[in-house]
């Protein structure tokens, strides 16, 4: 760590559902990551239940030690939402009706033909001095003893919206001088963690002021590079140098992208650059690959259609897989994967098609083809390739592994083709 001013906050997530393990604390993860990306750090994350006597002392403690406080949860209209009352007590600010918000809410509900209710009135009551954040959702800012305290709803998409649109811009205005953190993730395909560690072992990233970490993901590995500096330029400069070292040690052919460039983003860009259109034929992944491909905005520029051929009839009718082939080899087989890919390519009239057929389990396996057996085919104008995999774990894990492997195969085929065509 270096010497520039660090702006450090506390995060308090409120909800019995977190303490009881009903749901993971996705909000905490999201907030920590977004803050760090903008040069703010958390030094504590705390979770308590929906009880005033738990919330009050923690709010006071955070107030003592933090440049800012973010609180999520417990702001809803129901009786088990206790955050507002806890804030009123902790900061000794009585609850008052926020006139502007109350008026807006009245009008808004009337538009939808909803009567004014006790719950609505409760939504409009906030601790004295609170500034409403957003309108169509719960959330407010309260500055107390010069510490900005942001109270956000626990509903993830509402929290995310307020965080991005209101909280972070406000923090940036309040704390213009702060350390800049830059984190850079390199996504590695086809090398496992110990091997990555071995290849990078003797690199002196510390001399560059860059921290290196390893995060294994689902069938890909992430190498994370982290730098803190006085300016973004300085931090990025250090990261750039470290990245060059990593790429040369790992080999560029193993690095599919960086940061949020998931494989579906990378292959989308490659398809667009080649002017190729894609079709998919999925059996055991059941639409998962199509779903990932179409997550990317603008996918219609290169994705034509997907066939989720769960039944054998669908494989034959939609992809021309011969009935005899299905009978001779079974639906989960190398020739069927090839026939599915070729059939999808031909029927959709596209340049490239990927097909997956496998046994996701938990039942349906045999000695010859155990659960986790997956064949992946990829057909291009030039050739058709088929890979066999054996994945382990739950049904979900096998499906996700198969989808990831299918995208890796597509990425390899497209990289290979590009190499041969260009330069």
Residue 132 contacts a second copy per CB under 8 A = no
68: contact with a second copy by CB under 8 A: no
Distance between alpha carbon 20 and the CA centroid of its chain, in Å? Answer: 24
C-beta separation of 331 from 316 below 8 A? no
**DSSP alpha helices (H): ranges in 156-221?**
156-162, 168-174, 193-200
Decide whether 98 or 285 has the Cβ nearer to a second copy.
Answer: 285
Total Cβ atoms within 10 A of residue 394: 12
Query: CA angle, corner 182, sides to 180 and 183, nearest 5?
Result: 150
Contact stretch for a second copy (CB under 8 A) within 97-105, 170-178, 298-306, 376-384: 298-306
* Binding residue count for a second copy, defined by CB under 8 A: 99
- C-alpha dist (Å) from residue 213 to 186, 204, 208: 11, 13, 15
- DSSP state for residue 299 in the 8-state scheme: G
Distance, in Å, from the CA atom of 97 to the CA atom of 123, rounded to the nearest integer, reads: 9
Among 105, 263, 290, 353, which residue interacts with a second copy (rule: CB under 8 A)?
290
CA distance 60 to 22: 27
Closest distance to a second copy from the beta carbon of 348 (Å): 7
Indicate the residue among 206 and 423 with the shorter CB distance to a second copy. Answer: 206
**Cβ–Cβ < 8 Å for 81, 50:** yes
By CB under 8 A, is residue 149 in contact with a second copy? no
Q: Binding of a second copy at residue 232 (CB under 8 A)?
A: no
Asked if 40 is part of the footprint of a second copy (rule: CB under 8 A), the reply reads: no
d(CA 188, CA 217): 10
Q: Which of 314, 325, 385, 390 binds a second copy (CB under 8 A)?
A: 314
> Which tokens belong to 177?
């001088």
Quote the least distance from Cβ 95 to a second copy, whole Å: 19
Q: How far is the CB of 87 from a second copy (least distance, A)?
A: 19
Helix (H) or strand (E) holding 420: helix 395-421
361 binds a second copy (CB under 8 A): yes
Quick one: 3 or 423, whose CB is closer to a second copy?
A: 3
- What are the DSSP calls for 111-141, one per residue? HTTPPP-HHHHHHTEEETT-EE--SSS--EE
User: Whose structure tokens read 């808004």?
Assistant: 108
Which of the residues 385 through 404 are near a second copy (CB under 8 A)? Answer: 393-397, 399
Site for a second copy in 332-351 (CB under 8 A): 348-349
Largest CA distance in the chain: 79
Distance separating alpha carbons of residues 89 and 86, to the nearest angstrom = 5
* Binding track over 189-228 against a second copy, x by CB under 8 A: ----xx--xx--x---------xxxxxx-------x-x--
Q: Which of 14, 39, 47, 351 binds a second copy (CB under 8 A)?
A: 47
H/E run at residue 358: strand 352-358
Residue 280 within binding range of a second copy, rule CB under 8 A? yes
The residue among 60 and 215 lying less far from a second copy, judged by its C-beta, is 215
Identify residues 252-271 at the interface with a second copy (CB under 8 A).
Answer: none
Q: Find all residues with CB under 8 Å of 381, minimum gap 6, and list them.
A: 351
Q: Does 30 bind a second copy (CB under 8 A)?
A: yes
Minimum gap (Å) between residue 213 Cβ and a second copy: 6
| 20 binds a second copy, rule: CB under 8 A | yes
Segment near a second copy (CB under 8 A); pick from 23-31, 140-148, 165-173, 380-388: 23-31
The smaller minimum CB distance to a second copy, of residues 282 and 417, is found at 282
Site for a second copy in 75-114 (CB under 8 A): 76-80
Under the criterion CB under 8 A, does residue 25 sit at the interface with a second copy?
yes
Binding status of residue 33 toward a second copy by CB under 8 A: yes
């Amino acid at each position: 760590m270096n010497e520039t001013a660090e702006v450090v906050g506390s995060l308090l997530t409120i909800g019995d559902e977190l303490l009881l393990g009903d749901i993971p604390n996705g909000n905490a993860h999201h907030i920590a990551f977004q803050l760090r990306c903008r040069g703010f750090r958390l030094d504590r994350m705390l979770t308590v239940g929906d009880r005033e006597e738990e919330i009050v002392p923690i709010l006071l403690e955070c107030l003592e030690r933090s440049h800012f406080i973010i609180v999520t949860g417990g702001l809803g209209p129901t009786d088990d939402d206790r955050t507002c009352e806890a804030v009123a007590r902790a900061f000794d600010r009585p609850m008052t009706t926020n006139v502007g918000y109350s008026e807006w809410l009245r009008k808004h509900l009337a538009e939808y033909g909803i009567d004014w209710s006790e719950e609505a009135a409760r939504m409009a009551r906030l601790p004295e001095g609170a500034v409403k954040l957003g309108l169509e959702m719960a959330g407010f800012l309260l500055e107390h003893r010069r510490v900005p305290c942001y109270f956000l709803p626990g509903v993830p998409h509402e929290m995310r919206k307020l965080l991005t649109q209101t909280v972070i811009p406000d923090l940036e205005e309040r704390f213009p001088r702060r350390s800049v953190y830059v984190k850079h993730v390199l996504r590695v395909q086809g090398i496992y963690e110990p091997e990555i560690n071995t290849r990078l072992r003797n690199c002196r990233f510390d001399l560059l002021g860059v921290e290196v970490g390893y995060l294994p993901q689902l069938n890909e590995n992430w190498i994370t590079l982290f730098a803190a500096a006085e300016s973004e330029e300085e931090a990025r400069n250090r990261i750039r140098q470290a990245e060059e070292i990593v790429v040369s040690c790992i080999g560029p052919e193993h690095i599919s992208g960086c940061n949020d460039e998931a494989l579906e983003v990378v292959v989308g860009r490659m398809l667009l650059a080649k002017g190729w259109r894609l079709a998919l034929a999925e059996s055991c992944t059941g639409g998962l690959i199509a779903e990932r491909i179409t997550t990317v905005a603008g996918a219609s520029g290169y994705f034509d259609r997907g066939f989720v051929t769960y039944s054998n009839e669908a494989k034959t009718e939609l992809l021309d897989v011969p009935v005899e082939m299905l009978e001779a080899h079974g639906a989960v087989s190398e020739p069927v994967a090839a026939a599915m890919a070729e059939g999808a390519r031909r029927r959709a009239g596209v340049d490239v098609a990927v097909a997956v057929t496998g046994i996701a389990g938990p039942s349906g396996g045999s000695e010859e083809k155990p659960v986790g057996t997956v064949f992946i085919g990829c057909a291009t104008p030039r050739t058709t390739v088929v890979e066999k995999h054996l994945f382990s774990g739950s049904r979900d894990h096998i499906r996700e592994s198969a989808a990831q492997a299918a995208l890796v195969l597509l990425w390899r085929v497209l990289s290979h083709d590009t190499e041969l065509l260009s330069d």
